[in-house]
Homo-oligomer: A and B are copies of this chain.
Amino acid sequence: MRMTARPENLHQSRLLHLLRDEGPRSRAELGEMVRLSRSKLALELDRLVELGLVEPAGLAASRGGRRSAVVRLSPRLRFVAFDIGATSIDVAVTNGRLEVLGHVSEPCDVRLGAPAVLERALELLGKLRDDGLLPQVHGAGIGVPGPVSFREGIPVAPPIMPGWDRFPVREAIGRELGCPVLVDNDVNIMALGELHGGMARSVDDFLLVKIGTGIGCGIVVGGGIYRGVSGGAGDIGHIRVDDDGPLCACGNTGCLEAYFGGAALARDALAVARAGHSALLAERLAATGDVTAADVAAAAAAGDPAAVRLIREGGHRVGQVLAGLVSFFNPGLVIIAGGVARLGHALLAEVRSVVYRRSPPLATGNLPIVLSELGDTAGVVGATRLISDHVFSPA
């Protein structure tokens, strides 16, 4: 029993990627797409069948001649995704085509430390395994809410993950599952998710801004994640908006996150509730003794003017930072994602307004700014995309 089969050359790799992204195809169609002679193609496909990665899937309807033999990725292929958030864990299992077969999610504080959180993640995977979803795991992708040394597969100097610094995440999970594992920043894997199944499918250079507990940005250059020289690229939460803004946890003042991170939004909402400017928020305060970012979202969705106003102000700040990034990076698309983004057409309108006003026409002329449509699945799909790109490439 081979541990994990990998393609032997670039042709096989391209075939796997095609079967993953385009679905089952006839040999003739595949030959067309990879520009290989039929003979060579048959050779490589036979090898892939031998490796257990591909299998025949019957005959297609005739198109005027002999019926073509369709091939597909082996339906027994499985990829696993762990999306570790600041306050939650998502675990999912997909087939070779990255279609989600099972997905569980539960609240979990990342501050419990790496061993405890990873063990809980594996327990959640165990649940899915009991459903019979896991004949064989071919790879696992992991997203964590902080900077990562991608090459080593370990978090480095993560601000909100005490007890994770340089913890060998890849090695630990790899030992447990016995398959290739890759670890990346959670925002990066969300960007990969959008690249695979979201609005960014045909966009080479784009940004994904995630607004949640923290604020981060996934950067895609030429169809691949850009991570910077030390894995810290996209850390936009502490970009300065103003000198005389609120004090941030990082020690500076006026950081974007201090204006509009999850904690900042809760802080402002609390002030609004106490001042009596919002009936809905005051009600929440009375009921639970606290007001959260989710409460603001709910209140805004219900049309509460003060809540909408909080979101618009935050959107304004995000837009100011994003306008600078758009000027600098000239992306082909900007996607807003994360908890706060879930509801926000008010947010989106404000962000758009500021970016379209403050960035050069050349950069905004053909720039869609949209909300993510993928929600929670962006992260897990991106994680499996990350690992499948790796497993489907020659060793």
Residues of A within 8 A of B (CB): 147, 156-157, 159, 204-205, 217, 219, 221-222, 226-236, 238-240, 242-243, 250, 252, 320-321, 323-325, 327-332, 357-363, 365-366
| Measured CA separation A170–B287 after assembly (Å) | 69
Q: How many angstroms between the C-alpha atoms of A271 and B301 in the bound complex?
A: 51
What is the chain B residue whose CB lies nearest that of A321?
B324
B232:A323 contact, CB within 8 angstroms:
no
Distance (Å) between the CB of A267 and the closest chain B CB? 22
Residues of B within 8 A of A233 (CB): 328-330
Assess whether A362 is in contact with B235, with CB atoms less than 8 Å apart: yes
Query: Nearest-CB distance from A160 to chain B (Å)?
Result: 12
Query: What are 18 residue pairs bridging A and B, where the CB atoms are less than 8 Å apart in the complex?
Result: A205-B228, A205-B229, A221-B226, A228-B330, A231-B330, A231-B362, A232-B360, A232-B362, A232-B363, A233-B328, A233-B330, A234-B330, A236-B328, A238-B327, A240-B320, A240-B324, A252-B358, A324-B324
Main secondary structure of the interface of A (DSSP, over half): loop
Please measure, in the bound complex, the distance between the C-alpha atom of A77 and the C-alpha atom of B81, giving whole angstroms: 55
Which residues from chain B contact A330 at a C-beta distance below 8 Å? 227-235
* Complex Cα–Cα for A221 and B234 (A): 14
Q: How many copies does the complex hold?
A: 2
Q: Are A324 and B365 in contact (CB under 8 A)?
A: no
**Across the interface, do A239 and B205 meet the contact criterion of CB distance under 8 Å?**
no
Nearest-neighbor residue (CB-CB) of A251 within chain B? B357
Establish whether residues B234 and A328, one from each chain, have CB atoms under 8 Å apart when the complex forms. Answer: yes
Q: How far is the CA of A323 from the CA of B239 in the complex (A)?
A: 7
A205 and B217 CA atoms in complex are apart in Å by: 18
- Picked from B204, B252, B325, B362, the residue with its CB within 8 Å of the CB of A328 is B325
Once the chains bind, are B365 and A230 in contact (CB under 8 Å)?
yes
Say how far A351's CB is from chain B's closest CB, in angstroms.
14
Q: How far is the CA of A321 from the CA of B239 in the complex (A)?
A: 9
Let me know if B360 and A238 touch, CB within 8 A: yes
Give bound CA distance, A156 to B232, whole Å.
33
- Name A366's closest neighbour in chain B (CB-CB): B230
Q: How far is the CA of A188 from the CA of B2 in the complex (A)?
A: 49
A359 to B360: give the CA distance in the assembly, Å: 25
Chain B residues contacting A147 (CB-CB under 8 Å) are 362
Please pick, from B204, B228, B328, the residue contacting A235 in the complex, using a CB distance under 8 A. Answer: B328
* Residue in chain B with minimal CB distance to A255: B358
The residues of B that contact A221 with a CB separation of less than 8 Å are 221-222, 226
**Inter-chain contact A363/B235, CB cutoff 8 Å:** yes
A217 to chain B, nearest CB (A): 7
Measured between beta carbons, the chain B residues less than 8 angstroms from A231 are: 330, 362
Q: With the chains together, A222 CA to B223 CA distance in Å? A: 13
- Bound complex: CA of A268 vs CA of B127, how far in Å? 68
User: Given the interface contacts A226-B221, A228-B205, does A239 sit within 8 Å of B327 by beta carbon?
Assistant: yes
Q: Judging by beta carbons under 8 Å apart, are A360 and B240 in contact?
A: no
Q: Which residues of B contact A226 (CB under 8 A)?
A: 221
Other A-B contacts than A228-B363, A231-B330, 12 sampled, CB-CB below 8 A, are A204-B229, A205-B228, A221-B226, A227-B330, A228-B329, A229-B330, A229-B331, A229-B332, A230-B330, A233-B328, A235-B362, A242-B243
